Amino acid sequence: MAKLETTYMGIKLKNPIIVSSSGLTNTIEKIKKIEEAGAGAVVLKSLFEEQINFDAGNYLNQGQNDYPEAEDYVRNYVKNNTVDSYLELIETAKIKTKIPIIASINCVSASDWTSFASKIEKAGADGLELNINIVPTDKEKSSAEIEKTYFEILEKVKASTKLPVAVKIGQQFSNILYLVNQLHYRKADAVVLFNRFYEPDINATKLEMDSASVFSHPSDLRHSLRWIGIISDKIEKIDIAGSTGVHDGEAAFKQILAGASAVQVCSVLYKKGVKEISNIVTELEKWMEKHKFSSIADFKAKMNYSKIGNPLVYQRSQFMKYFSSME
């Protein structure tokens, strides 16, 4: 019988299926159901730096406070109460479940609050995922300056905790390999490729801003497959979790073949329910048995950049081979 155990960011998992940070992971009741469905680990819904700042601003605006010295008090009050609720969720989850619990912080700056990581550690979390997305709106700021913020966030967090840390990033970088290598140099234990962000849309009837679809599609797997295959070869000592487009067992074993240690699922669970976790695990197990792989290690990175016959397949960016005859 195939063994699905794997190690991700130093954490031993019974299988490589991780439920990613979302509304599916924000209560103890939901986490219990995820555990019962057979997931290998869970990433708690992120604590959002932007949301903390937004809530604090709302409190201040509602109060119409004429005392500037009260502003710091209000901001700290909102921040501390939000953090305390999050820590309580971690503590309760560790008591009432046996599944590895990975906390998540959504960061946009390297501000002092990232030292909150030490509190996450004390609460009992098994690991920490830094969900970083900085939208460039300053035309005078270079790409290097923006990347520097990513590095500063990681460095500050690593300095405040002994927890293993993963960095979840988007794909909008001119050199993803360089970025991941720099994160590895700064002691990141893992990277998650790739984050799925809120995308704006415009309602042309109401002339209002709207939100585009929040769910991924199975075809989105292509976004991460190329980079998992390359990075797993070029930077061997950093774990990778494949994310976005993982809707079934086939997507899971493709990511692992490319070099992922684990995969994150979300959209498919919203569409079909958390019971789909067990179907993905079963499909992965049957595929392993069919190909006579007794463990994840037997096929992990078996088809990464250097192990396939023609590594240029991972580099190709044009459709010259497959669609050159199309008009």
At 146-186, the pLDDT tens digits run: 999 999 999 999 999 999 999 999 998 999 999 999 999 99
Let me know: does 276 contact 307? Beta carbons within 8 Å.
no
Let me know: does 47 contact 226? Beta carbons within 8 Å.
no
Tokens of 102: 């990975």
Q: How many helices (H) and strands (E) does the chain have?
A: 11, 13
Q: Quick one: pLDDT band at residue 136, thresholds 50, 70, 90?
A: confident
**Each residue of 241-274: pLDDT tens digit?**
999 999 999 999 999 999 999 999 999 999 999 9
**Each residue of 81-102: pLDDT tens digit?**
578 899 999 999 999 999 999 9
Q: Tell me the average pLDDT across 280-299.
A: 98
The fraction of the chain above a pLDDT of 90, given in percent, is 69
**Model pTM greater than 0.75?**
yes
Tell me the chain's radius of gyration from C-alpha atoms.
21
pLDDT of residue 67 exceeding 50, the answer is no
Domain annotation for the chain: domains and CATH numbers: 6-315 (3.20.20.70)
Tokens of 193: 């490729």
- Enumerate the β-bridge partners of residue 104: 129
Tokens of 66: 């004429």
Q: Quick one: pLDDT band at residue 64, thresholds 50, 70, 90?
A: very low
Query: Tokens 């063994």 appear where?
Result: 3
| Alpha carbons 96 and 2: distance in angstroms, whole number | 28
